[in-house]
Amino acid sequence: SQKIEQNSEALNIQEGKTATLTCNYTNYSPAYLQWYRQDPGRGPVFLLLIRENEKEKRKERLKVTFDTTLKQSLFHITASQPADSATYLCALGLGGGKLIFGQGTELSVKP
Amino acid sequence: DTAVSQTPKYLVTQMGNDKSIKCEQNLGHDTMYWYKQDSKKFLKIMFSYNNKELIINETVPNRFSPKSPDKAHLNLHINSLELGDSAVYFCASSPSGQGNTEAFFGQGTRLTVV
């Protein structure tokens, strides 16, 4: 069956460390993979998009990798700050604009 | 300037009622969506419209009927509300319907059916 899973529901790290979030999927062949941030009571906000022929994408302190053989994406936040605390969602981009979301990983960055 | 706006933000109603949620985007995007986020935070696509035409219609009860009067608006009407319809409903838009561009989400409508 088709599945998309993100690592443990909650991730707690110390300020200044690198946070690494995992997104694994099975029985999908996405052309794109996107990462969003969601704060409580708000809608998801787009962070990064990576295409199937790209290995890595960076934006400021954010880095995403996409391994279509392993069917996995890793999302890194370097030099994390308490303001990075939020839920992070990965989404597979399929045909027709359809996005299939993972359940999200709640990141908490402690000062 | 709110890019994607939904109204109302909160909606509490009794079982069996009919209600509507409105959505408007001022980004000039061609594609609009409705997503449902349940209590476990799973965000699932319900519908997508491209230039007022229905493109995606997931397995959603036919009590849910989207309406797109123009490409800037996508409303969601729900008939005979049930307890299980309680969730947060998000409207979103994107420049294209190909999945290769970011989606912009509204702030959500928290629907509570009692």
Per-residue model confidence as pLDDT tens digits over B56-81: 888 889 999 999 999 999 999 999 99
pLDDT band at B100 (very low <50, low <70, confident <90, very high): confident
Cross-chain Cβ contact A44/B43 below 8 Å: yes
Cα(B31)–Cα(B98) distance, integer angstroms:
9
Of A90, A111, A109, A110, which Cα lies nearest the Cα of A101?
A: A90
Q: Closest approach of chain A CAs to the CA of B36, in angstroms?
A: 11
Q: Judge whether residue A25 has pLDDT over 80.
A: yes
Confidence of residue B1 (pLDDT cuts 50, 70, 90): low
B39 vs B84: CA distance, rounded Å: 10
Mean residue pLDDT of chain B comes to: 92
The minimal CB distance from B40 to the residues A42, A51, A103 is found for A103
Band (pLDDT 50/70/90 cuts) for residue A48 is very high
- The pair phi, psi for residue A46, each rounded to 5°, is -65, 140
Residue linked to tokens 């009571």: A41
**Looking at the complex, does the CB of residue B51 fall below 8 Å from at least one CB of chain A?**
no
Q: Give the three-state DSSP class for A70.
A: coil
- When pLDDT is averaged across residues A27-53 and rounded to a whole number, the result is 94
Q: How far apart are CA A8 and CA B88, in angstroms?
A: 23
Answer yes or no: do A96 and B48 touch at CB < 8 A: yes
pLDDT in tens, B43-52: 999 999 988 8
**In angstroms, what separates the C-alpha of A25 from chain B's closest C-alpha?**
15
